[in-house]
Each structure stands twice: as structure tokens, then as C-alpha cells.
A and B are shown apart, each in its own frame.
Chain A
Amino acid sequence: DGGITQSPKYLFRKEGQNVTLSCEQNLNHDAMYWYRQDPGQGLRLIYYSQIVNDFQKGDIAEGYSVSREKKESFPLTVTSAQKNPTAFYLCASSPTGTGTYEQYFGPGTRLTVT
């Protein structure tokens, strides 16, 4: 089955620690995205990547970093510089050749930092 996987589903960390969230897709999509979701806030874009070895900052990139070494993978690191890291993180991917630009989402990772 083709799809997007995110692991783990729940993640707990102490303040001051960096943590990396995994996102893998086998849909052969070129573009991948990371969003953050807080209650009542909708989705806010953290980073996106249109192609391997290239990525751009979204609206709330401060305190986060990403890499895109492989087409299938787009890991997100939440650094200790992120002031409010507790949130639900969603990864998405989209095809770039169809002209319809729809995004497909993974199941999400809920990060709790105490």
C-alpha cells in the first residue's frame, strides 16, 4: 500500500533536548511538507521541500530544522530553541506533475515536551 508514515505516534521529551520526527512516503512524490497543529489554530507551515537536497522555510520555521537527502524521507528536528514545541506535527506530500496540487497527509506525531 502506498502512503505516508510518521513515527512515532507519541513522543515525550524533556525541555532542552532536540528531537527528530520521522516522515517517509512511498508515493513517489517530489514535494514534502511539515505542518504544526495547535488546538483552534488550524495548520501552520514549518518547512517544505520541492525536490531532494532543497527546502524552504515556512511561516514558523524558527527552532526547527529539516533535511531532504532522499526523495522518500523528510525528517524534522525540533531543537531546544523552539519555545513551545508541544504540538501535533503533520507531514504531507504532493505530486508535482498532475497539476492539481493536492496534498496527502501522514497520521501525525504528537510531541509533548515537559
Chain B
Amino acid sequence: GEDVEQSLFLSVREGDSSVINCTYTDSSSTYLYWYKQEPGAGLQLLTYIFSNMDMKQDQRLTVLLNKKDKHLSLRIADTQTGDSAIYFCAESFNQAGTALIFGKGTTLSVSS
């Protein structure tokens, strides 16, 4: 069945790198996404990666995909207090208009 797993919490110091990990079970996933949710707000799409790519970089964000192990990670360089939020990993399948499968979210806490 479809399932997306994430660790629940991550705590880092300001200026350090953060790495948030995600595993998924369905090898037919087409795209994998990272979303950010600040308290009381909706989800903001940060980045996504196509399943035939290994890496995608976008400013401070680096996404790594290991398709063999079904492992996805999000690295945030030079983490700031404003990065404190819940981060969700999600996967989609090769069909427009179908829902995404979300993990339960990783709460990132950044201390100064």
C-alpha cells in the first residue's frame, strides 16, 4: 500500500544545516514534494523532484532522492529561525487530478 514516513521532530541551531528525511513505499511515484507549514497556516509548496532525478537544488534547499531505497531528503543550508515549521513530504502518481499522499510531518525547531 501507499505510505510515507517521516521522523516527527528535528532540532538544530541557527546557522547549521538541517536534514529532514522521508521514506515512501510505492515505487510508481512520479513526483515527490516538500511542503512547509507555519503555525495556523496552510501548506506552502517548497520544491518538488521528478522520480527520475537524483538531486535538485534551489537556493538554500537541496533535495536528494534515492529511488532504490525509496528515500527522500530535504537539506536546508544555513538554517534560520524563520525556517521553524512543520515540513511535509508527499508523493504523487502518474495521473492528473489525483490526491497526494502525505507524511505526518517533521517539526523543525531552530534555536538561536
Chain B residue contacts of A96, Cβ below 8 A = 96-97
Asked if A48 contacts B97 (CB within 8 A), the reply is: yes
Q: Report which of A6, A48, A106 forms a contact with B99, defined as CB distance below 8 A.
A: A48
Residues of B within 8 A of A58 (CB): 99
Whether the Cβ atoms of A101 and B30 lie closer than 8 Å is yes
- Within 8 Å of chain A (Cβ to Cβ): is B55? no
Nearest B-chain residue to A97, judged by Cβ: B96
Of chain A, the residue at the smallest CB distance from B33 is: A102
- Decide yes or no: A45 and B99 within 8 Å by CB, A101-B92, A106-B42 being known contacts: yes
Say how far B63's CB is from chain A's closest CB, in angstroms: 14
B53 within 8 A of A: no
If A42-B88, A48-B97, A96-B97 touch, whether A102 touches B104 (CB-CB below 8 Å) is no
- A-contact 0/1 string along B67-81, CB 8 Å cutoff: 000000000000000
Contacts of B30 in A (CB 8 A): 101
Residue B10 lies at the interface, judged by CB distance under 8 Å to chain A: no
Instruction: Judge whether A43 and B88 touch: CB under 8 Å.
Output: yes
A100 x B48 contact (CB < 8 A): yes
Interfacial chain B residues near A99, Cβ < 8 Å: 96
On chain B, the residues within 8 Å of A85 by CB distance are none
A26 contacts B by Cβ under 8 Å: no
Residues of A within 8 A of B92 (CB): 101-102
Q: Which of B32-89 contact A (CB under 8 A)?
A: 33, 35, 40-45, 48, 50, 88
**A103 at the binding interface (Cβ < 8 Å):** yes
A50 within 8 A of B: yes
In the bound assembly, the distance between CA atoms of A94 and B100 in angstroms comes to 10
Q: Tell me, yes or no, whether B102 is within 8 Å of chain A by CB.
A: yes
Contacts A42-B102, A42-B104 given; does A50 touch B42 at CB 8 Å: no
The answer, yes or no, to whether A107 is at the interface (CB within 8 Å) is yes
Interface residues of A (CB under 8 A from B): 4, 6, 30-31, 33, 40-43, 45, 48, 50-51, 58, 90, 92, 94, 96-97, 99-108, 110
Q: Identify 5 residue pairs between A and B in the complex whose beta-carbon atoms are under 8 Å apart, listed by A's number.
A: A97-B96, A100-B31, A101-B95, A101-B96, A102-B92
